[in-house]
Amino acid sequence: MKKLSDGQIKILTDNGHHLYSNTKAAWTGVTVYQLNGPTRKEYGMYANLPAKKVARQQKNFAKRKPDISERHLSVHEKDLFMKAKVKELQSFFENGVWIFVSIKEADPARTLSSRILLKWSKNPDGSPRAKARHIVRGYADVDALEGNLNTAALQLPD
């Protein structure tokens, strides 16, 4: 599979022969080798997924939109994303998700890193809207790692 700079995805099947791309533009890609059972056994290769499923996952991954980089945005777009970030962080404070403490008060072992994911969404009228999502890296939570965190979904009463 190859992904062209304009976002198109092309699948090339060579059936064991060399196949040269007729595309002169730059592209990135992935090669998926499908080995038969006896060959995999001979080389001690065991896969959890069949080759077709791996190829499908790669194709879906290639289709996803890359993260937005603020370096490539105009001043107006940067302003829109700054407002989106403020809105996202305000909702965390308003809903009591966290409280603000100084570095001196914070326990480094209980401090989780995070990042803000930026993407373009659409307003009801179809115009573009800057959207920011704050993502905390919860996989490093001390309580979760020690098994002391209840991860069951709560059922709200009717």
So what's the pLDDT on residue 83? 95
Residue 117: which residues within 8 A CB-CB, separation 6 or more?
67, 132, 133, 134, 135
Torsion sign, CA atoms 58, 59, 60, 64 = positive
Alpha carbon distance 54, 60 (integer Å): 10
Confidence at residue 24, expressed as pLDDT on a 0 to 100 scale = 63
pLDDT value, residue 77:
92
Distance CA(58)–CA(55), nearest Å, equals: 5
> pTM of the predicted model, to two decimals?
0.51
List the chain domain ranges.
Answer: 2-63, 70-145
Q: What pLDDT, on a 0 to 100 scale, did the predictor assign at position 82?
A: 94
pLDDT, one tens digit for every residue, the chain (158 residues): 677 777 777 776 665 555 555 556 665 666 666 667 777 666 666 656 666 777 777 777 666 666 788 888 889 999 999 999 999 999 988 888 877 788 888 888 778 888 899 999 898 998 889 999 998 887 778 777 777 777 676 666 76
